[in-house]
Amino acid sequence: MPETQYHHHGRFRVAGGVIPDAITAYKTYGSQENPCIVFPTCYGGKLDDSGLLDQEYMIGEDKALNPKEYFIVTFALFSNGESSSPSNTPAPYNGPYFPAVSYEDNIRAQYTVLQKLGIKKVHMVIGFSMGGQQAYYWPVMYPDFIEKYVCICGSARTSPHNQCFLEGPKAALVASKDFDNGHYKTTPQHGVRAFGRVYSAWAYGQTWFREHQYLHGGTYADLGTFLREEWELGFLNGWDANDLLTLLHTWQTGDVSMIRDNGDLHKCLSQIKAKGLIMPSKTDLYFPPEDSENEVAAMPNTARLVVIDSVWGHMAGGGSNTRDDQFIQAEVKKFLEGVKTKL
C-alpha cells in the first residue's frame, strides 16, 4: 500500500470562511506515464483502512482501476480526518469553529494537487456516493480537463429527500447529552452511537433485511448485535463527531448546477462534454435510480445509465458484496475501453 502524501495549500478560502493552512491528503498508484484516474473518498471513507470504506476495493491488477495501466490518484475529502478537518486543525479553527466546506472547494484543492503532479488531462474521474457526487463536479468545473466520469450511487444534486434523511443522524448526534455543542473533550459515545444507528437503516435496501436477516452468514446473532458491531463501532473507530457533521454538510449542500447555472440542473448537465457512466442501485434509499434517470435525460448524447440490480441498497456501490462488485467492475472496464490518452 503506498504512503499517504499531503499537499499544503497555505491559506485556502472555502464556503464558510478560510483554512489558514489547508491540507489535502492523497495517494498515488502506478506510473505517471499512464492515463490518470481520479478516485475521491465517500462519506465514511478514508485513504487507509481505518474508515467504514477504504479506497482500494476498486484498485488492483485484477480490478477496474489497474495500476499497471493507469496512474490512479485517490483524494481524501476535507473533514474526513486525513485532509484538513475539525479534528486536526489548530485554533482558532479547531472543532466546532472549522468552516463549512463545499464540494467545489474540494475539487479546487484536488485540481491544485494534480497540477503539482504535472497532470495535463484526467482520463476518468470515478467515485461512489459522495465520491460520485464529486465525479459530477469535475466535468462542470474543468470541462477541458476531464474525458470521462463515473458516478456510482450518487447524484449531481442532493435531493430534498436525501437532505431530510441527513437531518436524522445529524439531530441524533447534536442533541446527545455528551456532544456539548461540539466542545466535547472525549468521544461523545452517546451521540456517535445514536448517529450510527440512525444512519444504518438507510444504508441497505428493505429487501436486503428480509433476505439476509442482518446476519451476514451467521456473523451477528441478532439485530442489536449487528447495529452495535457494524454501525456503532464503525463510526466510533477513527471518526470524530465534528468531522462527521462538517462532512455531512458538504453532502447535504451538494448541487453542481449552482456553480454556473444558478440552480438550473438540466441546463448545467446538458453542457457537460465528458462521457459519463451513471450507475445507481435499484434499491438505494439515499440516491434512488429515478434521480439518475432524470439526470441522464439531460445528457442523452454523453451519458449512459446502468442500474445495479441489487438488494443491497446504497451499499451495493461500495464493494460490499461480490456479485454487485463484479458487475460494477465489469461495466467500468467496458467504459474504459478505447483510446487511452497518454500524458
Structural domain harbouring 220: 162-250
Residue 339: predicted pLDDT: 41
Has 159 been annotated as catalytic? no
Residue 35 within a domain: yes
**Pairing relationship of beta strands 36-40 and 17-29 according to DSSP bridges:** unpaired
Q: Which of 228, 250, 272 is the last residue of a domain?
A: 250
Residues 125 and 266 in one domain: yes
Residue 341 within a domain: no
Residues 193 and 120 in one domain: no
Residues 176 and 142 in one domain: no
In our burial notation (b when 16+ CB lie closer than 10 A, e otherwise), range 193-232 reads bbbbbbbbebbbbeebeeebebeeeeebeeeeebbbebbb
Query: Considering 102, 129, 292, 320, which one is annotated as catalytic?
Result: 129
Mean pLDDT, contiguous 10-residue spans, the chain (343 residues): 95 98 98 97 89 86 96 98 97 98 98 98 98 98 98 98 96 97 97 95 80 65 87 92 98 96 95 97 95 97 97 93 95 81 40
Q: Which helix (H) or strand (E) holds 122?
A: strand 122-128
Residues 91 and 218 in one domain: no
Residues 275 and 310 in one domain: yes
Residues 265 and 197 in one domain: no
Residues 142 and 13 in one domain: yes
The set of cell numbers assigned to 224 is: 442489536
Residue 343: predicted pLDDT: 37
Residues 131 and 86 in one domain: yes
Residues 90 and 57 in one domain: yes
Query: Considering 83, 200, 314, 324, which one is annotated as catalytic?
Result: 314
Residue 343 within a domain: no
The CATH number covering residue 118 comes to: 3.40.50.1820
Q: Which of 216, 250, 284 is the last residue of a domain?
A: 250
Residue 340: predicted pLDDT: 45
Give how many domains the chain has, as a whole number. Answer: 2
- Cα separation, 287 vs 159, in Å, equals 8
Residues 113 and 192 in one domain: no
Has 270 been annotated as catalytic? no
Has 284 been annotated as catalytic? yes
Query: Considering 284, 291, 324, 325, which one is annotated as catalytic?
Result: 284
Q: Which of 250, 274, 306 is the last residue of a domain?
A: 250
Torsion angle defined by CA atoms of residues 192, 197, 199 and 205, in that order, rounded to the nearest 10 degrees: 160
Residues 216 and 320 in one domain: no
